[in-house]
């Protein structure tokens, strides 16, 4: 059941540059999308979300873009900082299964000095 896919298992980026994380989904009933960050031995931490009625949401260094026609969303982190090194999960929820978050496999981000 691969309704949410993150095809890049890892990403390495230099400090100060932009990190771009991608996520694809297949279920057209999804209407809310979230990004979580996870450090080892901790729970996922909510970062930013976007409703399907928008195509962009920005919060500080984090911006999420949604392309509904392509069933694709991305997370931009600008500028990247060493503390951003973590696993990032894309998650989605839909009107047909409210509250049930479907997670992607995650992308490990490493920010190098």
Partner 1 sequence: EPEVTQTPSHQVTQMGQEVILRCVPISNHLYFYWYRQILGQKVEFLVSFYNNEISEKSEIFDDQFSVERPDGSNFTLKIRSTKLEDSAMYFCASSDLGAGAYEQYFGPGTRLTVT
Of 22, 103, 108, 110, which lies in the binding site for partner 1, with binding defined by CB under 8 A? 103
SS (H, E, C) the chain: CCCEECCCCEEEEECCCCEEEEEEECCCCEEEEEEEEECCCCCCEEEEEEECCCCEEEECCEEEEEECCCCEEEEEECCCCHHHCEEEEEEEEECCEEEEEEECCCEEEEEEC
Site string for partner 1, 38-77 (x = CB under 8 A): ---xxxxxx--x----------------------------
> Shortest approach of partner 1 to residue 102 CB, angstroms?
7
Residues 66/49, Cβ–Cβ less than 8 Å:
no
> Shortest approach of partner 1 to residue 20 CB, angstroms?
21
How far is Cα of residue 20 from the mean position of the Cα atoms in its chain?
9
88 is an interface residue for partner 1 by CB under 8 A: no
99 is an interface residue for partner 1 by CB under 8 A: yes
14 is an interface residue for partner 1 by CB under 8 A: no
> Shortest approach of partner 1 to residue 97 CB, angstroms?
6
Binding site for partner 1 (CB under 8 A): 32, 34, 36, 41-46, 49, 89, 91, 93, 97-106
């Amino acid at each position: 059941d691969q309704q949410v896919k993150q095809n890049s298992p890892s990403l390495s980026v230099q400090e100060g540059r932009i990190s771009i994380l991608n996520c694809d989904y297949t279920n057209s009933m999804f209407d809310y999308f979230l990004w979580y960050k996870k450090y080892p031995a901790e729970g996922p931490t909510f970062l930013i979300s976007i409703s399907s009625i928008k195509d962009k949401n920005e919060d500080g260094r984090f911006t999420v873009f949604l392309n509904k026609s392509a069933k694709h969303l991305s997370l931009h982190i600008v500028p990247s900082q060493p503390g951003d090194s973590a696993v990032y999960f894309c998650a989605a929820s839909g009107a047909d299964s409210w509250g049930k978050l479907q997670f992607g496999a995650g992308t490990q981000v490493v920010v190098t000095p």
